[in-house]
A and B are shown apart, each in its own frame.
Chain A
Amino acid sequence: EAQVTQNPRYLITVTGKKLTVTCSQNMNHEYMSWYRQDPGLGLRQIYYSMNVEVTDKGDVPEGYKVSRKEKRNFPLILESPSPNQTSLYFCASSLRSGDNSPLHFGNGTRLTVT
């Protein structure tokens, strides 16, 4: 089944403890991206990747890192999480960027930082 898989679905952590949210897609998609969703703000792009080893900042990159060493994986890294990073996170992928190829979303990761 074609899908974008995020893990974990729920995560509770404490301020300053490094964490990684994994994202994997099995559709051979070139393009991958991370969004965060906050009440009253909709979804905002954190980082994106056009292809392997090519990543760039979105609208709200502060406090996050990403890597794209393999085409299928695009982990989101929080080196020192803070409470303002409590949010719902979505990974998404598309066959390519620049056209209207459908964007496939993962099921989301609910992160709470205390």
Chain B
Amino acid sequence: AQTVTQSQPEMSVQEAETVTLSCTYDTSENNYYLFWYKQPPSRQMILVIRQEAYKQQNATENRFSVNFQKAAKSFSLKISDSQLGDTAMYFCAFMSGGSNYKLTFGKGTLLTVNP
């Protein structure tokens, strides 16, 4: 079974600075997808970014980018120019390719952006 590990339960960053959230996963598969979800206090689950394992190029979405290291099974999220609205719980998630679309989630990292 796949596992997803987020080793940082909580992090904080000053507004406008850069922060990196860590995620590692364990799988024997070669075809899979990785995601970062954001859950603000409103508790809505918002997709931040996704990465296909077969793509070597790291995904980027505006201020959000990932560092995907397939051999190391690492998928970190970098948030540049942090904003107060980035304060949220962040979940890393894994999905096996061709699966029932089950997302296996990490336990989450609570990020606080301080003014």
* A58 touches B (CB below 8 Å): yes
B101→A41 contact, CB < 8 A? no
* B78 touches A (CB below 8 Å): no
B44→A107 contact, CB < 8 A? yes
Task: List residues of B (25-81) whose CB comes within 8 Å of A's CBs.
Answer: 33, 42-45, 47, 50, 52
Chain A contact residues: over half helix, strand or loop, or mixed?
strand
* A24 touches B (CB below 8 Å): no
Chain B contact residues: over half helix, strand or loop, or mixed?
loop
B47→A90 contact, CB < 8 A? no
Listed residue (A45, A48, A50, A88) with the most chain B CB atoms within 10 angstroms of its CB: A45
Q: For B108, list chain A residues within 8 Å (CB).
A: 42
Q: How many of chain A's residues have a CB under 8 angstroms from any CB in B?
A: 27
Minimum CB–CB distance from A67 to chain B (whole Å) comes to 17
B45→A94 contact, CB < 8 A? no
Of the candidate stretches A12-20, A70-78, A97-105, the one touching chain B is A97-105
Q: For B106, list chain A residues within 8 Å (CB).
A: 42
Chain B interface residue bracket vs A: 20 to 34
- A99 CA to B98 CA in the complex, in Å? 6
Task: List residues of A (32-91) whose CB comes within 8 Å of B's CBs.
Answer: 33, 35, 40-45, 48, 50, 56, 58-59, 88, 90
Minimum CB–CB distance from B66 to chain A (whole Å) comes to 14
* B19 touches A (CB below 8 Å): no
- Whether A103 contacts B44 in the complex (CB less than 8 A), given A42-B108, A43-B91, A98-B98, comes out as no
Q: Which residue of A41, A97, A102 is within 8 Å of B47 (Cβ)? A: A102
- Whether A48 contacts B101 in the complex (CB less than 8 A), given A43-B91, A100-B33, A100-B52, comes out as yes
Minimum CB–CB distance from B92 to chain A (whole Å) comes to 9
Minimum CB–CB distance from B95 to chain A (whole Å) comes to 7
